[in-house]
Amino acid sequence: MREKFSQLKSVAFGKLKTPNTTDNYIVALDIGTDNVKAVIVKQVDSTLEVVGAGRAHQGLQDMQAGAISDIQAVVANCDEALDIAEKSAGVTAKQVVVGIAGELIKGITNSVKVSRENPEKELDVKEVDELARRVQSEAYRQAKEELSIELSTSDIELKLINSAVVEINIDGHKVTNPLGFQGKIIELQMYTAYAPLVHIGAIERTAAQLDLELLAVAAEPFAVARSVIGNNPDASDNVILIDVGGGTTDIAVLRDGGLEGTRMFGIGGRVFTKSIARDLGVDFIEAEKLKIGLSTGEVHQAQKQKVEAAIEKTANIWIQGVSLALAEFDWLDYLPHTILLCGGGSSLAVLRTKLTDKEWQKDLPFSKIVEPKFIQPEDIKDMRDKTGEIKDHTMITVMGLARVGADTRASTTSRKSKLSKLLEN
């Protein structure tokens, strides 16, 4: 679809060059509630180079709470963002990784411990895979049970979208790659994420209509975590990652470089806009202008107080959502005090103010007073922007998705490499 569209515009205007197609590139799509963001990356040794970037605005009815609600409209928006990225890069990429978010995405961390009959036998891929499948099976059961309660139905199909090793212990000894080790007691702790099949199907259909090969679907908080960790096998990051999008807030907790879990809830930038629209009696478009104007200082003084009051009410609910989400990590002795923010919704200054408020922190096991700050593009490990277009925290998620795409491609060609730290489903 995109190639034909590009060719048509070349003919019409006589100036646009049809990009070259190559298999050496990956495209990442962050299909957000407010915007579609696309980047094209090239693998250069152990580093990813962003060679193209683009974005396009979504209509009000195109997405609902982070999930696609109008496939044809979303395809058109993705097409626009990809067209911009391709012209920037001068190439097209055929393989795509797409992010998925929303309250129905269940990221669960659990573990399995087994006693081996033959401790002298070296661990191989087959045995470790079997352990992983046992963890994934239990996570599937838990995810389905949670969604059955939330949706009041047991008739729901789920699909595994991401798995990541959090920790592996052999006879009490922590290892990063279990292959080749001997031992009696093996304990594997993994993060797994499941999504409803209806959401995955919508993404698959979108990729097909864009004439792209779907390399991977990734839970977006998982992707943000991958962007922070990079390729370092000894990563020891202890942080809370909060991605505030247009429709949802996604949270991931990293401890000692391992992903402890993810949580999502349905408050994003649009909820703040709707609060302004309701309290000031204006339409959504005008309310969005007022919200943005508050950050840029372009709101008239007469309206500023009312806009701030509307946002404050929603921010109070938002911080309660953050608190409840983090309270679910009750197996952790402490929570990291560093909070890294990304996503367009996190641009609201009131959110950083709420995060520094000691009141919401008092019932949670933080090691120190919370320190929130933005993730900047230069903070992303093993990735360089060659376009000059990625300037702030709003593009972090799509960069993380590109990293997941590179992981997936590498894992299909080198199954034994550290288990890729990402296990295939």
pLDDT tens-digit map of 116-153: 999 999 999 999 889 989 988 988 998 899 888 888 88
- Spell out the alpha helix ranges (H) of 62-174: 71-89, 125-151
Q: Residue 315: its pLDDT value, please? A: 96
Q: Residue 230: its pLDDT value, please? A: 78
pLDDT-based confidence at residue 234 (cuts at 50, 70, 90)? low
pLDDT, one tens digit per residue, over 288-334 is 999 988 877 777 777 888 999 999 999 999 999 999 999 999 989 99
Relative orientation angle of helices 396-413 and 220-229, to the nearest 10 degrees: 80
**What is the number of other CB atoms lying within 10 angstroms of the CB of residue 297?**
7
Do 254 and 237 meet the contact criterion of CB atoms below 8 Å apart? Answer: yes
CA quadruple 316, 322, 328, 330: dihedral positive or negative? Answer: negative
CA 264 to chain centre: 10
Q: Is 250 helix (H, G, I), strand (E, B) or coil?
A: strand
Name, in order, each residue with C-beta under 8 angstroms of 93's C-beta and a sequence gap of 6 or more: 22, 25, 26, 27, 40, 212
Q: CA-CA distance, 155 to 2, in Å (whole number)?
A: 36
- Mean pLDDT for all residues in the chain: 86
pTM of the predicted protein model: 0.85
Instruction: With a cut of 70, say whether residue 8 has pLDDT above it.
Output: no
Q: Residue 381: its pLDDT value, please? A: 86
Q: Residue 410: its pLDDT value, please? A: 79
Q: Name the pairing type of β-strands 383-385 and 47-57.
A: parallel
Instruction: With a cut of 70, say whether residue 259 has pLDDT above it.
Output: yes
Q: Residue 233: its pLDDT value, please? A: 64
Q: Which range (99-108, 208-217, 248-257) has the least confidence? A: 99-108
**What is the number of other CB atoms lying within 10 angstroms of the CB of residue 418?**
14
Q: Please give the residue that has the higher pLDDT: either 8 or 283.
A: 283
Q: Is 424 helix (H, G, I), strand (E, B) or coil?
A: coil
Q: CA-CA distance, 340 to 229, in Å (whole number)?
A: 13
pLDDT, one tens digit per residue, over 23-33 is 789 999 999 99
Apex 377 CA angle, 374 and 378, nearest 5: 105
